[in-house]
């Protein structure tokens, strides 16, 4: 280690501006799941990356929406398989759009992978997306992709309430089964949710409420809810860790994240859903306009739809429902058919996002920065 560091020091000064690092030697993929191995259908999609591999080279920079460990596993798997040197930055939806907007002339990223499609739609309306239909997108059901705005779904998950049963018992509260349950004064300071300005997860909940209660009704509700909120986090899944550690009783997050935290921590977490209906996300991928390396981005996008790539999720305990029907659905995944889903139109959600976020910032958050006492 030290030896290599010393060697690098010498040449580094020259190569700094390039920002490149030595590409890893492509070793045999220490490949993830048994699930993936079984799903080795000889679909055209699987072959494709292997063919293009010859011409396409790195570096590829992925804007990654889901949790760190999934991002890591995905980029590592992709790099192992294609030899394309890949790095990622994890950004929440709001951050992603803001960043892409700021560097529209010279984007850092090639592809946006993961996070509710509302974000991709919003980015598209702002002219930040270059529509690209992956070669194997035909495999994906119609309602999980949108050719016009150029995104393709990679996973689906429903929003839910992630409660720590121990804390609930302590407070003498049942796991919430409706949005109104969350307004229970006993839960004061015991709910965590992300900030809709940054988090796509939180925006999904905001838009869900708009669908259920109308815009004004949704904001009235959120303002009421504010007194029960312990903390607004930046990233969408972070409230789940607070529920797991018992800092709060209830986290409003995607249900699959709750399962992930339960699996990982062994905390006594229970998932429940609002009876009135809940929103869901279609985790999407899209090509970024003026991407520095569109060729590699396309290889990534094609690959990401393969059962093999989608199976990586389960290896890091991310139990979203994969969009490719050929991917084995992990047993831990929450079956969406058992949940009362609202009629969530992510195109409309994405188009309304900018305006809603502005109102949200004004009415819910800027007013809420008062000290917690």
Q: Which residues bind other proteins (CB under 8 A)?
A: 1, 5, 8-9, 12-13, 16-21, 59, 61-62, 67-69, 72, 76, 87-90, 92, 94-95, 98-99, 101-102, 106, 108-109, 167, 189, 195, 197-198, 229-235, 237-238, 240-242, 244-248, 261, 264-267, 365-373
Q: Which is nearer to other proteins, 126 or 213 (CB)?
A: 126
Tell me if 156 sits within 8 A of 213, measured CB to CB.
no
Contact residues for 256 (Cβ-Cβ < 8 A; gap 6+):
157, 318, 319, 320, 321, 333, 334
* Closest to other proteins by CB, 31 or 178: 31
Return the CA Rg of the chain.
Answer: 21
Nearest-approach distance from CB 67 to other proteins, in angstroms:
6
- Residue 158 has φ and ψ, to the nearest 5°, of -100, 145
User: In the structure encoding, which two tokens stand for residue 313, read together?
Assistant: 């999720």
Residue 288: φ, ψ to 5°: -85, 140
Nearer to other proteins, 331 or 370 (CB): 370
What is d(CA 186, CA 183) in angstroms, rounded to the nearest whole number? 8
For the CA atoms of 133, 139, 141, 144, what is the dihedral angle to 10 degrees?
Answer: -40
Residue 164 DSSP class: E
Whichever of 211 and 243 has its CB closer to other proteins, that residue is 243
Question: Residue 181 carries which DSSP code?
Answer: G
226: tokens are 């504010």
Least Å from the CB of residue 6 to other proteins: 9
Please give the Cα distance from 317 to 68 (Å, whole number). Answer: 12
The bridge status of strand 151-164 relative to strand 145-146 is: antiparallel
Return the closest-CA partner of residue 152 out of 179, 112, 186, 185: 112
**Least distance to other proteins from the beta carbon of 99, Å?**
5
**Nearest to residue 285, comparing CAs of 116, 128, 135, 104?**
116
- Among the listed residues 361, 368, 369, the one whose alpha carbon sits nearest the alpha carbon of residue 206: 361
Q: Which helix (H) or strand (E) holds 60?
A: strand 60-64
CB nearer other proteins, residue 190 or residue 208: 190
Q: How far apart are CA 260 and CA 280, in angstroms?
A: 17
Nearer to other proteins, 42 or 371 (CB): 371
Which CB, 21 or 275, lies closer to other proteins? 21
Cβ proximity to other proteins: between 141 and 367 the closer is 367
Q: Which residue has the tokens 């809603």?
A: 356
Taking the C-alpha atoms of residue 347 and residue 118, their distance in angstroms, rounded to an integer, is: 7
Closest CB to other proteins among residues 238, 282: 238
Distances 18 to 14, 22, 288, 290 between C-alpha atoms, Å: 8, 11, 21, 19
Nearer to other proteins, 14 or 148 (CB): 14
């Amino acid at each position: 280690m030290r030896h290599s560091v010393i060697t690098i020091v010498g040449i580094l000064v020259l190569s700094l501006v390039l920002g490149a690092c030595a590409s890893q030697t492509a070793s045999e993929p220490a490949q993830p799941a048994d699930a993936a191995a079984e799903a080795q259908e000889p679909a055209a999609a699987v072959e494709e990356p292997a063919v293009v591999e010859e011409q396409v080279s790195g570096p590829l920079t992925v804007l990654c929406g889901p949790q760190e460990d999934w991002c890591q596993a995905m980029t590592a798997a992709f790099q192992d398989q294609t030899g394309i040197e890949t790095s990622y930055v994890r950004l929440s939806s709001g951050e992603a759009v803001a960043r892409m907007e700021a560097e529209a002339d010279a984007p850092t990223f090639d592809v946006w992978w993961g996070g509710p499609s509302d974000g991709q739609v919003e980015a598209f309306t702002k002219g930040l997306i270059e529509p690209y239909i992956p070669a194997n997108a035909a495999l994906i059901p119609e309602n999980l992709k949108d050719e016009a705005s150029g995104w393709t779904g990679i996973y689906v998950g429903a929003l839910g309430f992630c409660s720590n049963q121990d804390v609930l018992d302590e407070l003498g509260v049942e796991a919430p089964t409706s949005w109104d349950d969350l307004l229970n004064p006993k839960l004061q300071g015991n709910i965590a949710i992300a900030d809709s300005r940054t988090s796509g997860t939180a925006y999904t909940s905001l838009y869900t409420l708009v669908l259920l209660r109308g815009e004004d009704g949704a904001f009235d509700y959120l303002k009421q809810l504010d007194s029960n909120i312990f903390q607004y986090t930046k990233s969408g899944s972070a409230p789940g860790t607070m529920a797991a550690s018992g800092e709060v009783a209830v986290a409003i997050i995607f249900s699959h994240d709750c399962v992930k935290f339960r699996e990982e921590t062994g905390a006594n977490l229970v998932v429940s859903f609002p009876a009135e209906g809940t929103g869901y996300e279609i985790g999407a991928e899209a090509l970024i306009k003026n991407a520095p390396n569109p060729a590699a981005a396309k290889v990534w996008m094609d690959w990401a739809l393969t059962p093999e790539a989608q199976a990586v999720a389960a290896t890091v305990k991310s139990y979203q429902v994969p969009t490719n029907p050929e991917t084995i659905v992990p047993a831990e995944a929450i079956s969406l058919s058992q949940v009362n889903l609202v009629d969530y139109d992510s195109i409309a959600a994405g188009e309304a996002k900018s305006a809603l976020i502005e109102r949200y910032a004004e009415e819910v958050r800027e007013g809420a920065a008062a000290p917690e006492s």
